[in-house]
Amino acid sequence: MPSQQLKDQTTAKIQHILHILQEKNPYALSALEDIHHNTLSLCDALDLKEKEADILRSHLHEKTQFGFIFSKSHLMQKMFWMAEKYKESALPLLILAEKGCGKEALARAVHLKSNRQGPFLVYDGIQSLEVLLKPKDSTLYFPEVSLVTPEKQKKLLECLQLAPTHTRIIISAQKSAEVEDSIYHRVRSMTLTILPLRERKEDILPLIDTFVREFSQNEKNISRFSSSALTKFADYSWPGNISELKLEIKRILIDNPGVKYFSIEHLPEKIIGASLKELFSIIQNTESLPKAMELLERKMVLESLMKHHWNKSKVSRELGISRSGLIQKVEKYNIRPIHFSKFSETKRRMSARNSGFISVN
């Protein structure tokens, strides 16, 4: 019950009792007035807590979502915070991500969440840049600049040099090292990096649910996947990232009309075989059963730690072991947080170019 409604009902009931006791029992009357006062104070405190909870919920929503893009990954949430910070700037923005991660979706979200009233325009290498730069309060997006011809990169450089202040330039690439130096040094001050799906597996199940709902014609009877099928989805590396996941969900639904509960048998071979292939590799390359079991156990512990960002309580619950048992296995297999610095090598190679570079990683 909302605190204000509770306060109103309590006040009405106590006033009724006060009227009855007014002449019969003055001591009870005084005690009841104290109770009434304390109840109102508690209601006010409850109201304050409700408002604080609303604020926390709104902050949580802002943190886990930017436009139509959402993620449970703490690194992605940090990127959302950076995107929120960058959205009103007139400076050019660089978006880095592998193919299929949603670079254009992020660029559109930055434009739509800004105060710009003009259009979001995408340069395809054919249109006249002079025409594209004319609309006021617009955003001009250059996709995959690392893959375009040197001639088109030259046009982009001219655009960065001559673009009017009312046009925001956003470019994207798969890797910063593939961007021509003269362009990179003009856009590196504002950089957003989208993690590949294999490094934020906690987003796979929510994305599956989103895509199933998107492709389901009957919203009242949504298809579901078995837990074993969902495990296979989580085990797969998704080299094509979100685009590949979305395409696979669409294919499964189209190829199996009328099915409302999908199991492993409905999944493509590449997804079913991903985890089995790795398991068979462990078995084939190990001479003894105890050694194979140790390698498999280490793999499961390591993957769970990666999934939950070293949160031992969540990992122990997922693996069905005690926290102390988990700690013993971590020590036994010499697993250290260094295993989770997946970007260390990339950062090392880019260090010569990273002066002033802002990244979510």
187 and 207 in a single domain? The answer is no
76 and 188 in a single domain? The answer is yes
The tokens for 321 are 């072991």
From 34-38, 223-227, 237-241, the region with the lowest mean pLDDT: 34-38
CATH of the domain at 104: 3.40.50.300
pLDDT at 244 (0 to 100): 96
Helices (H) and strands (E) in the chain, counts: 15, 9
pLDDT at 337 (0 to 100): 66
Half-sphere exposure of 52 (CA within 13 A, CB side): 6
182 and 258 in a single domain? The answer is no
Q: At what angle do helices 312-319 and 289-307 cross, to 10 degrees?
A: 130
48 and 83 in a single domain? The answer is no
- The answer as to whether 282 is a domain residue is no
Residue range 120-149: mean pLDDT, rounded = 83
Residue range 324-333: mean pLDDT, rounded = 89
- The answer as to whether 47 is a domain residue is yes
pLDDT of residue 292 exceeding 50, the answer is: yes
pLDDT at 354 (0 to 100): 39
185 and 77 in a single domain? The answer is yes
Read off φ and ψ for residue 202, nearest 5 degrees. -65, -15
| pLDDT band at residue 87 using 50, 70 and 90 as cut-offs | very high
- The answer as to whether 277 is a domain residue is no
Q: CA–CA separation, 135 vs 148, rounded Å?
A: 24
- The answer as to whether 294 is a domain residue is no
pLDDT at 6 (0 to 100): 60
Mean pLDDT of the chain: 78
CATH of the domain at 244: 1.10.8.60
9 and 121 in a single domain? The answer is no
Q: CA–CA separation, 326 vs 319, rounded Å?
A: 9
Residue range 226-242: mean pLDDT, rounded = 88
Domain count, the chain: 3
81 and 163 in a single domain? The answer is yes
Q: 348 burial class (0-12, 13-18, 19+ CB within 10 angstroms)?
A: exposed
Alpha-carbon distance values, 306 to 66, 93, 199, 259 (Å): 24, 30, 8, 33
Read off φ and ψ for residue 93, nearest 5 degrees. -120, 135
Q: Which residue has the higher pLDDT, 272 or 47?
A: 272
Q: CA–CA separation, 182 vs 194, rounded Å?
A: 23
Q: What is the DSSP letter of 210?
A: H
- The answer as to whether 30 is a domain residue is yes
pLDDT at 187 (0 to 100): 86
Greatest mean pLDDT range, 98-107, 147-156, 309-318: 98-107
pLDDT at 226 (0 to 100): 85
pLDDT > 90: what percent of the chain?
24
Asked whether the whole model's pTM tops 0.75, one would answer: no
pLDDT at 179 (0 to 100): 81
33 and 147 in a single domain? The answer is no
The tokens for 57 are 């919920």
- The answer as to whether 276 is a domain residue is no
113 and 33 in a single domain? The answer is no
114 and 98 in a single domain? The answer is yes
DSSP string across 117-131: -S-EEE--SSS-HHH
Read off φ and ψ for residue 262, nearest 5 degrees. -95, 135
pLDDT > 70: what percent of the chain?
72
pLDDT, one tens digit per residue, over 174-221 is 988 878 888 888 888 899 999 999 889 889 988 998 899 888 866 667
On whether the CB atoms of residues 302 and 335 are closer than 8 A, the answer is yes
173 and 207 in a single domain? The answer is no
- The answer as to whether 316 is a domain residue is no
**In terms of residue numbers, what domain contains 46?**
3-65
pLDDT of residue 37 exceeding 80, the answer is: no
Q: At what angle do helices 26-64 and 3-21 cross, to 10 degrees?
A: 180
pLDDT at 119 (0 to 100): 93
pLDDT at 134 (0 to 100): 82
Which of 195, 220, 252 is at the close of a domain? 195
pLDDT, one tens digit per residue, over 338-353 is 444 443 343 344 443 4
Q: CA–CA separation, 124 vs 273, rounded Å?
A: 38
- H/E stretch holding 75: helix 74-86
3-class SS shares of the chain: helix, strand, coil, % to 5:
60, 10, 30
pLDDT at 353 (0 to 100): 41
Alpha-carbon distance values, 91 to 76, 108, 111, 179, 263 (Å): 22, 16, 13, 17, 49
| pLDDT band at residue 17 using 50, 70 and 90 as cut-offs | low
pLDDT of residue 84 exceeding 80, the answer is: yes
142 and 232 in a single domain? The answer is no
Q: Quick one: residue 99, left, alpha or beta (phi over 0 = left, psi -120 to 50 = alpha)?
A: beta
Question: Beta-carbon neighbour count of residue 233 at 10 Å?
Answer: 20
Q: Give the list of residues 6+ apart from residue 332 with CB closer than 8 angstroms, or none.
A: none
Which of 249, 269, 289 is at the close of a domain? 269
Which of 269, 294, 317 is at the close of a domain? 269
